[in-house]
Amino acid sequence: ETRVEATPGLLSWTGTAGRVDLAYESPDTVRLRGTGLGFGISAAAPALTPFSGIYFYRDPVDGAHTFTSYETGRRYRITVLSGTVAEVSGSQALGAGDRGLTVAAGADGSWEVAVEELDSARRPYRTSAAFGEVMEAARRSFAEFADAVAPWRSADTPAAELAAYVVWSATVRPAGLVTRPAGSPELAWDQFHLPFDHQDESGALPDSVTHSEVLYNFVKPPIHGWTFGHLRRRLPEPLTPAQLNEAYDRLTRWTDFWLAARRAPGAELPHYQHGNDSGWDNATTFDPARVAVTADLAAFLTLQLRELARLATELDLPDEARHWTRTADATQAAMLDELWTGERFVARGVDSTATWDSSSLLDLMPMALGEHLPENIGKTLAARIETHLTPYGLATEQPASPHYLADGYWRGPIWAPATVLIEDGLRRAGHQRLADDISARFRALCEAHGFAENFDALTGTGLRDRAYTWTASSYLLLAEAHAHRDSR
């Protein structure tokens, strides 16, 4: 039986016949070493077509064996540092078949290789660092990151270091269409701006950005005003006038997109074209109609308009500040007039006055308005939010709903971003007890079940991706705030 052990600096596989260790030397290079066992490195997919799969060959320039992947658009070069190449299969082969090499131990019973991810070409691999030095450098890099991100961690926040690791391990260097790095307090500014680097002529932001693909067929909601307000308060240094101007210009274009391209003629409120635009892809709010006017969108846009007003004031643009304030007031007033029944928020179609409600937590997201909500509406929303609260946190669909699905994505499971937004809004609206309760349950959930993409609301079991930066980052935010409240 193989035992797998992992620390930030080292991943090890240990069996009865030997051991293999892996450590990151750099973001694009890993070192592997082993004793007692040979080691095979093979293409994951056996089929190579003109447009998919992996091609394999030996480079005559440096003697290294290289895999090229259609799927990633990258090359993976294998350099043997010690030991010998015992077997090679599928070199230069097309079609279906095995492709790869096997490394065997040398006279001392060990072997070591370096695996590099590269674009087209690079000088032959050379290093003066021993494997132990590589491992120690990786360990030290994580320790420094964790100390920067979570210096407040203690026994009361037992998952903080693991959360920091999830974020650290997902940190990428700028490459391809990923124009900025991500993953530490100092670089949060760059992470905020990455989607804005791909803002199109209409002002829209892409739905997603990877190193080789930018998708514009959907967007994300205008939550960036709320985000910017929180981000700038957390940055270690005040933003410069140039940075404030850049943020103002980009948020202005993003806001104008929603006001111009996503409001039907004569409409006061913007609409989504699909649940994907909201981030709540399959929420039951969108069951009656995908193209819909919803209260969460109006609330997020209102917050963004108010953030623009603050920025304009700071940049000495009084006329623009008044414009944004008037638009924010008008948007919130229209939301309350058109979508608030006196008891709850509803959604409606764009081409009719017909409205509908649902058992989705999405209908309660206007709680993010916090202190801007009328007190009676805030109290009503808080009471409704409590009906979504399970022992583990906020279910995205009421568990008693006939549409509730344990692994239904946005039709039941607990999600971190919704938790953070509602907790923040409740706290700003004066509902401290409920905010504390939601924070405590979510933190306990992560401490017991890790940082999955989402969680079964009734059992706490992690679902989908089991190491999700949204979840880890949300835990860090809530745990830090809890630690600071406790220290007062």
pLDDT tens for 47-94 read 999 989 999 999 999 999 999 999 889 999 999 999 999 999 999 999
pLDDT (tens digit, 9 = 90+) per residue, 205-214?
Answer: 999 998 778 9
Q: What is the pLDDT of residue 148?
A: 87
- Judge whether residue 182 has pLDDT over 50: no
CATH number of 141-486: 1.50.10.10
- Cα–Cα–Cα angle for 212, 206, 322, nearest 5°? 145
Long-range contacts of 181-188 (CB under 8 A, 24+ apart): 183/145, 184/145, 184/148, 184/149, 185/148, 185/149, 185/234, 185/235, 185/236, 186/148, 186/236, 188/231, 188/234, 188/235
Mean pLDDT over 176-196 rounds to 69
pLDDT of residue 237: 83
Confidence of residue 186 (pLDDT cuts 50, 70, 90): low
What is the model's pLDDT at position 208?
93
Quick one: average pLDDT of 11-35? 95
The answer on pLDDT for 173 being more than 70 is no
* Percent above pLDDT 70 for the chain: 97
Percent of the chain's residues with pLDDT above 90: 88
The pLDDT of 328-352, averaged and rounded, is 97
User: 390 falls in which pLDDT band (50, 70, 90)?
Assistant: very high
Lookup: tokens for 135: 């491992």
Contact, 396 vs 413, CB < 8 A? Answer: yes
pLDDT at position 17 over 70: yes
Q: What is the pLDDT of residues 225-260, one digit of tens each?
A: 999 999 999 888 889 999 999 999 999 999 999 999
Q: Where are the domains of the chain?
A: 3-140, 141-486
Query: Among 393, 415, 453, 418, which residue's Cα sits nearest to residue 170?
Result: 453
Residue 178, SS3 per DSSP: strand
Task: Place 183 in a pLDDT band, splitting at 50, 70 and 90.
Answer: very low
Tell me the DSSP string of 240-300. Answer: PHHHHHHHHHHHHHHHHHHHHTSS-TT-SS--BSSHHHHT-TT-GGGSS-SSEE-HHHHHH
Q: For 352-388, how does the pLDDT look when each residue is reduced to its tens digit (9 = 90+)?
A: 889 999 999 999 999 999 999 999 999 999 999 999 9
**pLDDT score for 175:** 53
pLDDT for the residue numbered 77: 98
The answer to whether residue 188 scores a pLDDT higher than 90 is no
102-113 confidence digits (pLDDT tens): 999 999 999 999
Mean predicted lDDT score pLDDT of the chain: 95
Nearest to 365 by CA among 288, 302, 306: 302
**Sequence-ordered alpha helix ranges (H) in 362-415:** 375-386
- Please, is 487 exposed, middle or buried when counting C-beta atoms within 10 Å of its C-beta (0-12, 13-18, 19+)? exposed
Greatest pairwise CA separation for the chain in angstroms: 81
